[in-house]
Amino acid sequence: MKPHALAFAALLACGSAFAQADAPRELYIRGAFNGWGTDNALVHKGDGLYQADILVSPGNHAFKVGSGDWSAEWVLDASKSVTVAPGTAYALETQAGPEDYLFVRRTGTYRFTVDTKDPKAPRLRVERLETAQAGPAADPHAGRVALASLSWPTWDGKQETARFSTPDAGAELRRYAHSTTMSLRDPGPQSSEYSEQAGLPRVRSGNLAFDALFALAGAEMRLDSVSQIKDGNYNGGAPVPCDCFETGEKWHYVWTRDLSYAADLGLALLDPRRVRNSLDFKLSGWRTGVAKAPQVAGSIDGLQIVQDTGSGGSWPVSTDRVTWAFAAEEVLRTLPAAERAPFARKALKALVNTLENDRIAAFDAASGLYTGEQSFLDWRDQSYAAWIPGDLASMASSKALSTNVGHYQALRLAARLAREHHDAARGQRYDDWADALKRAINERLWLDDAGMYSSLTAAHFDGAPMHKFDWLGQALAIVSGVADEARAQSILARYPHGPMGPPVIWPQQQGMPVYHNRALWPFVTAYGLRAAVQGGNALVADAAYDSLTRGAALNMSNMENLEWLSGQPLLLDERNPSLIGPVINSRRQLWSVGAYLGMVVQNVFGVAATDDGLTLQPFVTAKLRREMFSASNEISLHDLRLHGRRIDVRLRLPAASREDGYYAVERILVNGKPAAASLRLAELQDSNQVEIVLGQLQPSRGGIRRVNADPYLESSATFAPRDPVITALQAAKGRATLRFEGGGSGDVRYKVYRDGKLVADNLPAGSWTDRAAGATSCYAVEARFADSGNTSHHSQPRCMDPGIEITVPDARIVSNLKASPPNARFAAPHLANWGRPDDRFAVERIRVTQPGRYQVQLRYHNAANQVNLGISGGVKWLSLKDARGKVVAQGVIQLPHAPLAKANTPAVYSTPLAATLAAGSYRAELSDFYNMSYLESNSSFSAAGGTQGPSNRFDIHGLRLTRVR
């Protein structure tokens, strides 16, 4: 997520925020407790002392001292995280580094004091303030007769209850009081009040709790509807005017994927104009003065979708900007006709420029898949192998299910829009690409033994689909139509569900706190619900209905995420503070709000917009009927608006059943006349009364897989082994011997892959000899728990071919820059800060003696920003020419941000360019392409690639050619 909790600075070169001790300057305490924002300013108290008093809830909270635009960032140790002890003074280093931590056992006010009397050596002290205990809170439901409650068992045998009341049950727009017994994530009262919103639909179900929770989602949607947005990394931290949706209580900006999934799930039906404005904000053309490289595709202005978050410097390490199409498609269905046409033209242009450049920079023709990080799972430590954060090029070259389905959806939308704008050839081009992509997903990512799609492949030199799974990717494959009926049924029955709902990834990863790992996210659950409804799986749908309702009711808000086995907004593991989480968690998270609204409108009542009207396909399960709607024989949705027409929906319910399943639609009446499940706009009046009668109970079309474990234990039932390591690879007489270890404790067995194919199984830790090894074989190992079958990521691959390595001092390297000598950070000569558009780099007279398939990589280091931040990942064009000057291979290579050490920083390798080479002499040439810093939308970004101009630069250490076939 976002410039991610996980930290959040933007500069590696940070000057002192207090150049003069007697001149007060802007500085903030920024951390997981405030969304890394600027809500907690350090106030100057005189004599160089600055203080901020912050009410902090329990947790292990990451934080930093930083300015509003992150131009200054102070940490306790630039090389490692430090957990502060209250009452102890610490020296601050005035540079970027990993976040520090404050462990809080119980809610309290903490005073952060920064002493800058010596501006070159500021100090930090954190202390807990003693506060008076508040008296018992007043009962918000006292004196009210309209009351309801919802209760759920907890993982440890207790019970949590949410209560609801209203003083005006008969009012057209009700007011509600809402209280909970569950400990809330953030400090505050255990009760709240909210109202139904004029201009938004409302529900009457005979269950006050159900009606109230829908009203809560509508009220939170309105709270997320803002006239300005801001983020500390942009516009100097100052607000940007935009009638947009902000992302949540702790996230005051618009993020492409958050907005898009939220809009697709529910918001575009209810406020299409605001979604359209937000989508416009996530488009950008070239900055003034940018010279488009000849290989870059698209229109002169470069209008395209912004990849605003991700790993290693954003696009194309991360390529899920295409999720913009999910929201755009819904908005095109719901915008008034006069506003739809200009947005459709703009959407087509942006999609074309995006798709054409993604095809160049992120499409792997050998597999037929797009490369790039998993959609939304962008805290790489949480859902990738442990070695990946130090080698982000390997993340960049892997292929993810969710992101590929996003490309599929974007291609389908672009094809339809192209035909709408009388460009049949382009429409056919994109439909052909989409058809081929669908085939590739099913051929390359489907795992027969698991009955699900692999969430991601291993990286270059391996490439195998791994036994890793995520609920968003599986659900998107179903709802998009990528999965056929048989595969959809298999996925729904086989993806695991805990007692509180489905985790976003499976299995969980050891040694990681709760965030994407060990978590359920309501918006992902909502996509699972949509998939279950489409597949007729009532059991999976019931699990989703229960999870979404429970989360909103007990937390009194639609939260960002919850620990998946306990359902807690914070699992306080005092024995393992580093595992506490979710590490950040915002109320009224936009896609969670969209998820809840969509659950009610589109799933329970079955109302969804189409290109020329709407569909009516309610999915009421027997469990919902007997537990949520037992007090009434009908439920109703009032004042839904579509293209200016009012739609009121009444669902007439059959008698409750003790069996499980869902009720078929018996008949539909629109304004008193029989109607089909699909209605055209022309068939609707200004005000419409829809009556849907539900009839026969249908059995669930599949089962559900249940799993459970103690949330405080890293059990083999729910976790994977630790990622193994190949410690040695030795070759002799046509054989290769691997030594491997590292799967962790328990009964762990190992598999060996050669060139992405399984060649050995069920091995103990130790060694294995490949008697069919080739001179170019590459190996990877995965670990598996013998009891559960849960599987690790693959090890970092090791290859037999040592490669042809040419380093910067070699006379064959030609550049306009002179080599920099070794220094404290780098032990070898290098071309420092290479990559301006007119910089030159070539390697001449590369002698290839063995013909075959090669992978060509640049050896480099990119310290423009931290690995989880920024827009300055290196993206260049590499050409390989033979002795006659003929291009034999060319394409984009990526040089993502890499970890920077105080001394002896290792150089890393770029993504590879594949080349089939005969014996002979070759020349490699590097030239410019582009990254997200070339876009106008990033001209106010505070770090590299922002206010100082585009940044596509890095240090070059050499070139390597590895023979792989």
Map residue 441 onto helix, strand or coil.
Answer: helix
pLDDT tens digits along 306-348: 999 999 999 999 999 999 999 999 999 999 999 999 999 999 9
Predicted confidence at residue 69, as pLDDT, reads 79
Please check whether residue 526 is in contact with residue 265, taking contact to mean a CB–CB distance below 8 angstroms.
Answer: yes
Buried b (16+ CB within 10 A) or exposed e, 737-760: ebebbbbbebebbbbbbbbbeeeb
What is the mean predicted confidence (pLDDT) over 200-210? 98
Under the banding of pLDDT at 50, 70 and 90, the label for residue 12 is very low
Span between the terminal Cα atoms of the chain, in Å: 38
Q: Tell me the two tokens of residue 719.
A: 């976790």
Q: Is the pLDDT of residue 21 over 50?
A: no
pLDDT tens digits along 820-836: 999 988 999 999 999 99
Under the banding of pLDDT at 50, 70 and 90, the label for residue 785 is very high
What is the mean predicted confidence (pLDDT) over 116-137? 87
pLDDT tens digits along 613-642: 999 999 999 999 999 999 999 999 999 999
What is the mean predicted confidence (pLDDT) over 637-665? 97
What is the mean predicted confidence (pLDDT) over 891-913? 94
Give the separation between CA 421 and CA 60, rounded to whole angstroms.
Answer: 54
Q: Is the pLDDT of residue 854 over 60?
A: yes
Q: Is 654 exposed, middle or buried (0-12, 13-18, 19+ CB in 10 A)?
A: middle
Predicted confidence at residue 77, as pLDDT, reads 92
Percent with pLDDT over 90 in the chain: 91
The beta-strand segments (E) located in 699-777 are 705-706, 725-732, 735-741, 748-754, 757-763, 766-770
Give the separation between CA 74 and CA 760, rounded to whole angstroms.
Answer: 49
Q: Is 498 exposed, middle or buried (0-12, 13-18, 19+ CB in 10 A)?
A: buried
pLDDT tens digits along 43-54: 999 989 999 999
Predicted confidence at residue 24, as pLDDT, reads 61
Closest Cα partner for 782 from 760, 811, 807?
Answer: 760
Q: Is the pLDDT of residue 868 over 70?
A: yes
Percent with pLDDT over 70 in the chain: 97
Predicted confidence at residue 151, as pLDDT, reads 98
Under the banding of pLDDT at 50, 70 and 90, the label for residue 17 is very low
Predicted confidence at residue 492, as pLDDT, reads 98
Q: What is the DSSP string of 465-477?
A: BPS-EEHHHHHHH
Give the separation between CA 569 and CA 566, rounded to whole angstroms.
Answer: 9
Strands 89-91 and 662-670: unpaired
- The Cα diameter of the chain in Å comes to 91
Strands 735-741 and 496-497: unpaired
Under the banding of pLDDT at 50, 70 and 90, the label for residue 4 is very low
> How big is the chain by its Cα radius of gyration, in Å?
28
pLDDT tens digits along 578-593: 999 999 999 999 999 9
Give the distance, in angstroms, between the CA of residue 898 and the centroid of all CA atoms in the same chain. 20
Q: Is the pLDDT of residue 120 over 90?
A: no
pLDDT tens digits along 65-87: 998 878 788 999 988 899 999 99
Q: At what angle do helices 272-281 and 337-362 cross, to 10 degrees?
A: 40
Q: Which residues contact 338 (CB under 8 A, 6 or more apart)?
A: none
Predicted confidence at residue 23, as pLDDT, reads 55
Q: Tell me the two tokens of residue 175.
A: 């007011």
Closest Cα partner for 370 from 388, 357, 351?
Answer: 357
What is the mean predicted confidence (pLDDT) over 909-928? 98
Distances (CA, A) of 413 to 402, 432, 476, 610, 611: 17, 13, 15, 13, 12
**Region of poorest pLDDT, from 36-45, 467-476, 614-623:** 36-45
pLDDT tens digits along 688-700: 999 999 999 999 9
**Region of poorest pLDDT, from 614-623, 749-758, 893-902:** 893-902
Under the banding of pLDDT at 50, 70 and 90, the label for residue 577 is very high
Q: Tell me the two tokens of residue 656.
A: 């409750």
Predicted confidence at residue 303, as pLDDT, reads 98
Helix, strand, coil shares, percent, the chain, to 5: 25, 30, 45
Q: How many CB atoms within 10 Å of residue 432?
A: 12
Give the distance, in angstroms, between the CA of residue 249 and the centroid of all CA atoms in the same chain. 18
Q: Is the pLDDT of residue 135 over 80?
A: no
Map residue 46 onto helix, strand or coil.
Answer: strand
Q: Is the pLDDT of residue 177 over 50?
A: yes
| Reported pTM | 0.95
Predicted confidence at residue 5, as pLDDT, reads 34
Under the banding of pLDDT at 50, 70 and 90, the label for residue 96 is confident
| φ/ψ (deg, to 5) at 833 | 55, 40
Under the banding of pLDDT at 50, 70 and 90, the label for residue 6 is very low
What is the mean predicted confidence (pLDDT) over 603-607? 98
Q: Is the pLDDT of residue 934 over 50?
A: yes
What is the residue-averaged pLDDT of the chain?
95
Under the banding of pLDDT at 50, 70 and 90, the label for residue 468 is very high
What is the mean predicted confidence (pLDDT) over 448-463? 98
